[in-house]
Amino acid sequence: MPATPTIVAFGGHDLSPGSPLNEYLVALTEAERPRVLFIGTASGDSDMYVARFHDAFRPPAEARHLRLFGIPPPSLRELVLDQDLIFVGGGNTANMLAVWRLHGLDRFLREAWEAGTVLAGTSAGAICWFDAGVTDSFRVELDGLDCLGFLPGSCCPHYDGEETRRPAYHRLVAGSFPAGYAADDLCGLVFRGTELAEVVTSQPGAGAYRVELVEGEVRETPLEARELPSKE
């Protein structure tokens, strides 16, 4: 496992087989055949989402999934700590965090992260790691949500994929919402420890931004993104 705790937050991710983003995640584990775990709580443990994950990560990895709707596995902590990579899917972030906290999964995820397991995710699975995130968990209009706080600041996904994201994030940051990062679809923010190490993308033109309040005005600063090579 990587020596430094690592989190990759994707603004959006399609889980296509052979995706450069998937290959990047597998490589981060530094394992020959990494153990990877999908957590689909935000989508209600959608069977379709679970199947897409297995299609995307087999055979290069040993893929498993965790269901929390129903009776959770009796050895939940051991399952989480046994992984090289944990990928969290999108959906309703508020519902997901409530279920995680009920079963203690939030504590186990922090323990795994600090021990070297790579944490990653898209949309809900991206913003959950920050102090706060921009979410549609409560209504169509976007709101701020307190999250796990593994990473400082805030995060906004789907920055180029949904036209309401940018104005909503600017509105929140102009108020009392913490500064942070926005990521386009198919673009990932890579954190080593709690510091942004790089930005990667599989889509030409997709990028990420630092969004903060400077002298009373919201400032959006583009971040350099490295386009990952495709096998095609």
Mean pLDDT value across residues 183-203: 97
d(CA 188, CA 182): 10
For position 54, what pLDDT does the model report?
95
Domain boundaries, the chain: 6-227
For position 1, what pLDDT does the model report?
61
Q: What is the largest CA-CA distance in the chain?
A: 52
For position 231, what pLDDT does the model report?
66
d(CA 56, CA 144): 31
**Architecture field, domain 6-227:** 3-Layer(aba) Sandwich (3.40)
pLDDT digits (tens, 9 = 90+) for 92-147: 999 999 999 999 999 999 999 999 999 999 999 999 999 999 999 999 889 999 99
Q: Could you give the residue numbers annotated as active site?
A: 123, 158
